């Protein structure tokens, strides 16, 4: 199956290269090598594949439209590395990319991979642009080579809480009581602790915090507990399979809170969930990475992805945008030189517009894009719509959920 | 033990030690460092599993303890990396003693012992994931300060020498154990515990001393991992991956032999890298080869690759 996909993508790449070839041949500028690091084997392979897809689409687009102009129309050549879902894999691939002479590395996906790989890259002053990894440690280590275009964990949770309050206030404060459901591992526990500390300050009462393991095969007890507590809001922090199970169990048991509000959830912003379980997914809200729905490029990219029979996930636009960021910095640096590229990346400002994320004017401080922010999405009528912030929204929130 | 016995070990050390001088590619050096870390962890497993016949499925418990203590003492208590590393080895050995005491005193053997060690490693993983001092789910990050005084080296080659020195020490220690009274008793326990006991071997004491040694060695591999990658979380430190790596290498290379674990680690990881560079476009192809090698080794006696070669030579 994945072999077939590679064939098809390879074909696409070849055809894009074919389109660009006449112009490149005229310019004769040497190709610029760009390292794309994604986990495409192991537990994170789905995310890795969608990340790679985004990077490929960006590179194809740049090459098809004449390459990097400031570098005499140089094409971008992708050097792909499989981080195999662990930090050692990421480090080994960065070493290979360094040996290949890449000008920068984009990707990583998971925080541990990003932490280890960016550190390995820093040995060579090799610019590293994080695509997803939200750990706040990534940009607080003083590594000058590491940049993150998207938001970190602190910003995401803060925004999620602020938006929840705004949403609730706008609807006339229908929600007062909350049940938190979280997976007992990785990020779920941390998120639950944070929510427990912050929600009471914002006028919500946490009725109970329910932990469950990953993987979990049955959510009946959790659902029954929610039914007994009758909260206005359910806030789940779980991975894909567990959240799907929870929402389906709640649907079967006819448990209908006024809202299901997720933060960085593995399923609520995933079209697979929406397609496979449309009733359970309907009106679920999430605060997560998502592409800007108002940009025409977003729709174009989404069509290209769906034409390949694949789902529209946030990994694709984030990687597309990260590659565009590197391309933009290369144009400004004027030469494929690492030190110049680091400087150019750090100096990126609002004039960088080729990304498709719902962010304001780009501004990097210590490698973190200050404009990076999550948005609130809601599943409405089989589609995932942006409901918050208003500037980027393409739908009105349906809250409280009635009936 | 004579100088002659040490010759193969010294020859091996000399060959690997030359690598940083001959190869400038950090890809190769990085591969060698990681293989050495795995070889060290596997050598630890080999003492208990190979020589002692006590198959542990949970050497992650020792690897993780060594790794976490090395990291925590530096990050939370500002200790220098070297004493932290030593403390990590010590605590791993203590954890080994504790688990060994609980398991062996109750006479757990074979698959029961394997399951108990697996359970301990899992309990540690869950605890490390929930506790504050380990950084919980966010993990713990050792600050990058490339200075030999901090047990961090700007050159990967230098780290390779350090890892190689530890592996060489482990090889010598294994050889010494093999020739010692403890080693003989250990093999006796492996072959027939009841007979060994009847001959006056203190079975519990033999097993406890071995598990402490074994745990300390695997703990040292954990500490090395922490110093090399500078980041740990519960799934890295206490994940099943390292338990599996630690037992696969000796099984493929020859359990209960001095060179088995090193050979196994080099063969498995070398094969994986070679497959990746030949058929790199197919994700996971190296894991397929990994699996096939394991099936072949386990299916066809003498159940390890060097044994197979010996048999070919002398049919």
Where do the domains of chain B lie?
Answer: 3-240
> Cβ A112–B26 below 8 Å, yes or no?
no
Closest Cβ–Cβ partner in B27, B139, B283 for A41: B283
A45, A83, A100, A135: which to substitute to probe chain B, counting the most B Cβ within 10 Å?
A135
Measured between alpha carbons, how far is A15 from A45 in angstroms, rounded to an integer? 26
Contacts 24+ apart (CB under 8 A), B296-304: B297/B251, B297/B252, B298/B251, B303/B251, B304/B251, B304/B252, B304/B253, B304/B254, B304/B255, B304/B257, B304/B260, B304/B264
Indicate the average pLDDT of chain A. 89
Mean pLDDT of B49-60: 94
Concatenate the DSSP letters of all residues of A36-60 into one string: EEE--SSTTHHHHHHHHHHHHHHHH
Q: Among all residues of chain B, which has the CA nearest to that of A117?
A: B229
> pLDDT digit string (tens) for A122-159?
999 999 999 999 888 899 888 999 999 999 988 998 99
| The predicted structure's pLDDT at residue A186 | 59
Q: Among all residues of chain B, which has the CA nearest to that of A10?
A: B281
Judge contact between A331 and A323, C-beta under 8 A.
no
Omega prior to A389 cis, within 30 of 0: yes
Enter the tokens of residue A78.
């992708």
Residue B287: alpha-carbon gap to chain centroid: 20
ipTM reported for the complex surpasses 0.95: no
CA angle A132, A139, B69 (to 5 degrees): 100
Which helix (H) or strand (E) element contains residue A34?
A: strand A32-38
Mean pLDDT of A59-81: 95
Q: Among all residues of chain B, which has the CA nearest to that of A83?
A: B283
Closest Cβ–Cβ partner in B137, B146, B229 for A189: B137
Q: Which of 275-294 (B) contact A at CB < 8 A? A: 280-284, 287
B141, B143, B265: which to substitute to probe chain A, counting the most A Cβ within 10 Å?
B141
A80, A82, A146: which to substitute to probe chain B, counting the most B Cβ within 10 Å?
A82
Q: How far is CA A13 from CA A24, A53, A60, A237, in A?
A: 15, 11, 7, 38
Q: Is A239 on the interface with B (CB under 8 A)?
A: no
Asked if pLDDT for residue B281 goes beyond 90, the answer is no
Measured between alpha carbons, how far is B303 from B287 in angstroms, rounded to an integer? 20
Share of chain B above pLDDT 90, in %: 69
Measured between alpha carbons, how far is B218 from B61 in angstroms, rounded to an integer? 9
> pLDDT digit string (tens) for B208-243?
999 999 999 999 999 999 999 999 989 899 999 999
> Cβ A99–B137 below 8 Å, yes or no?
no
Structural domains present in chain A: 2-151+293-372 (3.40.50.2300), 154-288+376-392 (3.40.50.2300)
Measured between alpha carbons, how far is A36 from B11 in angstroms, rounded to an integer? 40
Enter the tokens of residue B310.
């010996």
Omega prior to B302 cis, within 30 of 0: yes
Asked if pLDDT for residue A173 goes beyond 90, the answer is yes
Measured between alpha carbons, how far is B36 from B224 in angstroms, rounded to an integer? 10
Judge contact between B64 and B125, C-beta under 8 A.
yes
Judge contact between A127 and A345, C-beta under 8 A.
yes
Helices then strands, counting H and E runs in chain A, come out as 13, 14
> pLDDT digit string (tens) for A19-34?
444 444 444 689 999 9
Q: Among all residues of chain B, which has the CA nearest to that of A90?
A: B229
| Phi, psi values for residue B288, rounded to 5° | -65, -45
Measured between alpha carbons, how far is A348 from A360 in angstroms, rounded to an integer? 12
| The predicted structure's pLDDT at residue B312 | 56
> pLDDT digit string (tens) for A177-213?
999 998 876 568 778 888 999 999 999 999 999 988 8
> pLDDT digit string (tens) for A294-313?
999 999 999 999 999 999 99
Q: Is A39 on the interface with B (CB under 8 A)?
A: no
Measured between alpha carbons, how far is A378 from A381 in angstroms, rounded to an integer? 10
Q: Is B233 on the interface with A (CB under 8 A)?
A: yes
Q: Which of 82-111 (A) contact B at CB < 8 A? A: 82, 86-88, 91-92, 95-96, 98-99, 111
Q: Is A141 on the interface with B (CB under 8 A)?
A: yes
Q: How far is B315 from chain A (nearest CA, A)?
A: 41
Which helix (H) or strand (E) element contains residue A388?
A: strand A383-388
Measured between alpha carbons, how far is A310 from A304 in angstroms, rounded to an integer? 9
Greatest CA span in chain A, whole angstroms?
Answer: 72
């Amino acid at each position: 199956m994945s072999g077939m996909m590679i064939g098809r993508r390879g074909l696409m790449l070849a055809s894009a290269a074919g389109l660009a070839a006449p112009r490149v041949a005229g310019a004769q500028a040497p190709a610029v090598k760009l390292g794309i690091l994604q986990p495409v084997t192991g537990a994170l392979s789905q995310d890795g594949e969608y990340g790679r897809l985004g990077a490929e689409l960006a590179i194809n687009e740049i090459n098809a439209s004449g390459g990097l102009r400031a570098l005499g129309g140089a094409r971008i050549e992708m050097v792909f590395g499989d981080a195999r879902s662990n930090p050692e894999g990421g480090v080994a691939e960065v070493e290979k990319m360094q040996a290949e002479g890449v000008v920068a590395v984009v990707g990583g996906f998971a925080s541990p991979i990003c932490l280890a790989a960016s550190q390995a890259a820093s040995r060579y002053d090799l610019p590293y642009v994080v695509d997803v990894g939200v750990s706040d440690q990534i940009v607080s280590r003083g590594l000058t080579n590491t940049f993150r275009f998207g938001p970190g964990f602190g910003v995401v949770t803060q925004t999620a809480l602020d938006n929840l309050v705004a949403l609730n206030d706008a609807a006339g404060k229908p929600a007062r009581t909350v049940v938190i459901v979280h997976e007992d591992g990785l990020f779920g526990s941390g998120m639950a602790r944070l929510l427990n500390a912050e929600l009471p300050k914002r006028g919500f009462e946490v009725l109970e915090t329910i932990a469950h393991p990953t993987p979990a095969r049955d959510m009946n007890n959790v659902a029954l507990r929610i039914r007994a507590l009758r909260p206005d809001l359910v806030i789940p922090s779980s991975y894909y399979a567990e959240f799907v199970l929870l929402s389906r169990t709640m649907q079967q048991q006819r448990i209908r809170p006024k809202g299901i509000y997720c933060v960085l959830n593995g399923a609520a912003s995933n079209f697979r969930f929406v397609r496979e379980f449309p009733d359970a997914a309907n009106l679920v809200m999430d605060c997560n990475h998502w592409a800007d729905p108002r940009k025409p490029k977003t729709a174009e990219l989404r069509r290209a992805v769906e034409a390949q029979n694949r789902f529209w996930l946030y990994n694709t636009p984030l990687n597309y945008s990260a590659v565009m960021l590197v391309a933009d910095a290369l144009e400004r640096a004027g030469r494929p030189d690492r030190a110049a590229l680091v400087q150019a990346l750090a100096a990126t400002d609002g004039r960088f517009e080729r990304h498709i994320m719902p962010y304001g004017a780009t501004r990097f401080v210590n490698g973190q894009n200050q404009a990076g922010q999550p948005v609130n999405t809601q599943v409405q009528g089989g589609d995932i719509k942006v409901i918050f912030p208003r500037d980027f929204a393409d739908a009105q929130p349906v809250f409280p959920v009635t009936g | 033990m004579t100088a002659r016995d040490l010759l193969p070990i010294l020859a091996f050390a000399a060959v690997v030690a030359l690598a940083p001088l001959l190869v400038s590619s950090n890809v190769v050096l990085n591969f060698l460092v990681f293989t050495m870390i795995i070889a060290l962890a596997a050598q630890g497993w080999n003492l208990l599993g190979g020589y002692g016949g006590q198959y542990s499925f949970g050497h992650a418990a020792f690897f993780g303890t060594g790794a976490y203590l090395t990291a925590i003492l530096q990050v939370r208590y500002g200790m220098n990396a070297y004493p932290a590393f030593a403390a990590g080895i010590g605590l791993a050995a203590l954890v080994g003693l504790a688990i060994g005491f609980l398991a062996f005193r109750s006479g757990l053997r074979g698959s029961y012992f394997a399951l108990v060690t697996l359970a301990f490693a899992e309990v540690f993983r869950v605890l490390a994931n929930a506790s504050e001092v380990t950084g919980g789910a966010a993990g713990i990050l050792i600050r990058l300060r490339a200075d030999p005084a901090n047990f961090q080296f700007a050159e990967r080659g230098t780290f390779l020498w350090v890892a190689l020195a530890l592996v060489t020490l482990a090889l010598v220690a294994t050889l010494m154990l093999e020739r010692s009274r403890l080693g003989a008793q250990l093999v006796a326990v492996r072959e027939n515990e009841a007979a060994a006991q009847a001959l006056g071997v203190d079975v519990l004491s033999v097993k406890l001393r071995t598990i402490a040694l074994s745990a300390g060695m695997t703990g040292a591999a954990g500490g090395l991992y922490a110093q090399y990658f500078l980041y740990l979380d519960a799934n890295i430190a206490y994940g099943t991956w390292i338990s599996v790596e630690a037992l696969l290498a000796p099984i493929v290379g020859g359990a209960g032999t001095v060179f088995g674990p090193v050979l196994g680690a080099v063969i498995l990881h070398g094969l994986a890298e070679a497959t990746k560079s030949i058929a790199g476009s197919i994700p996971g192809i190296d894991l397929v080869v990994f699996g096939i090698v394991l099936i072949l080794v386990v299916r066809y006696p003498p159940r390890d690759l060097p044994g197979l070669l010996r048999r070919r030579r002398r049919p």
